[in-house]
Amino acid sequence: MNTSQVTTTPITTAPVTTTPVTVTVSGAAGRISYSLLFRLASGLVFGPDTPVRLRLLEIPAAVVSAEGVAMEIDDCALPLVASIDVTDDVDAAFDGANAAFLVGAKPRGKGMERADLLTANGAIFREQGRAINSHAADDIRVVVVGNPANTNAYIAHRHAPDVPAGRFTALMRLDHNRALSQLATRLGAPVAELDGVVVWGNHSATQFPDVSYLTRRGEPVTSGLEQEWLAESFIPRVAGRGAEIISVRGLSSAASAAGAAVDQMREWVQGTPGESWTTVALPSEGQYGTVPGVVTGLPCRSRGAEWEVVEGLEIGGFQRARIDASVAELVSERDAVQGLGLTD
């Protein structure tokens, strides 16, 4: 299939109250997208009054399967779906895109680390960064899901010099949500009462889920989080959750990843509530001793539809060592992709 053969399904029921947003999803025939696309089409990300034009990008061998997914979206008769395009043409896919979920990539199998996918997946993000730079709308917002997500986002960002760096993010909201859920169970508290979690660093086994600023109903949490439990149970459980899912389910996480991608883009566009923050991986400006340019998990609030890194948090010795270890891994991934010729 090429650009001239893009399959477009115009839907005539969309309301015209708001200008539609054009949303590109790569890997549209895959498992995460099968969960993600229906949530996007339902208005969960851009709001109940905003129609969406969906662009489904796939490799040629999976275009027919993506067309099947598009048929199912049609069959939901969702009023916010303005159109659905299916294509394997990367330039057409990002033409005028306001938002992009870069999901299309190979998942790891049992016994692999996410960084083992760099060679297989890195070139995809070079190509998509270039296409975003040339064709996307000025307000493009990118969430990279395909692994290794941070370094893939770094590659894409490096090939899109005309797009503000902060528009390229990688998905660490899944790690954030995993941390919140583990803490809620430990404390016997509803997730909604907890705030102040951050997952520093890389979406990898070195990530540092940090509870130093945790609050429950606005008050610091002072019991139930003993250092031994944190170091020996909580941190490895959250950091190893992707591998645990693969080992138990036999496949990598999909619905939870899609849910986290929805959370990340929704709060980016619609704002984070009050003074709450979340974890977003984005090109660092050196905050908290991290390395500029490297796509790093940091505490962020969304203000005016842009991510702002929360400043001024105190960092103790235990935190410093954990953050530095994960950032060092990101630097080694950055150097590896440079060695592979994927960046300058």
Residues serving a catalytic function are 203
Q: Does 31 participate in binding ligand NAD (rule CB under 6 A)?
A: yes
Q: Rounded to an integer, what distance in angstroms lies between the CA atom of residue 281 and that of residue 288?
A: 14
Rounded to 5 degrees, φ, ψ at 309 are -75, 130
The answer to whether 298 contacts ligand NAD (rule: CB under 6 A) is no
**Cβ 41 vs Cβ 80: under 8 Å:** yes
By CB under 6 A, residue 330 contacts ligand NAD: no
Q: In the complex with ligand LMR, which residue's Cβ is closer, 253 or 284?
A: 253
Angle at 173 between CA 139 and CA 27, to 5 degrees: 65
Residue 334 identity (one-letter amino acid): R
Structural element, H or E, at residue 173: helix 173-187
Judged by CB under 6 A, the residue of 11, 22, 40, 58 near ligand NAD is 58
| Smallest distance, ligand NAD to C-beta of residue 75, A | 20
The single residue listed with the structure tokens 């208005």 is 43
- Using the rule CB under 6 A, is 147 a contact of ligand NAD? yes
User: CB neighbours of 226 closer than 8 A, spacing ≥ 6?
Assistant: none
Spell out where 192-247 has E strands: 194-195, 198-200, 208-210, 215-216, 219-220
- Tell the smallest beta-carbon distance from residue 296 to ligand LMR (Å): 16
Measure the CA–CA gap between 51 and 79, rounded to whole angstroms.
Answer: 8
Q: Site residues for ligand LMR, window 109-128 (CB under 6 A)?
A: 114
Q: How many residues bind ligand NAD (CB under 6 A)?
A: 28
When asked if residue 14 is in the footprint of ligand LMR (CB under 6 A), the reply is no
Establish if 67 lies at the interface with ligand NAD (CB under 6 A): no
Question: Binding to ligand LMR by residue 147, rule CB under 6 A?
Answer: yes
294 makes contact with ligand NAD (CB under 6 A): no
Exposure string over 70-94, b if 16+ CB within 10 A, otherwise e: beebeeeebebbbbbbbbbbbebbb
Which residue's CB is nearer to ligand LMR, number 50 or number 264? 264
What part of residues 169-208 is at the interface with ligand NAD (CB under 6 A)? Answer: 171, 174, 203
Interacting residue ranges for ligand NAD, rule: CB under 6 A: 26-27, 29-32, 57-59, 62, 103-108, 124, 145-147, 149, 171, 174, 203, 252-254, 257
Q: What does the binding site for ligand LMR look like in residue numbers (CB under 6 A)?
A: 107-108, 114, 147, 174, 242-243, 245, 252-253
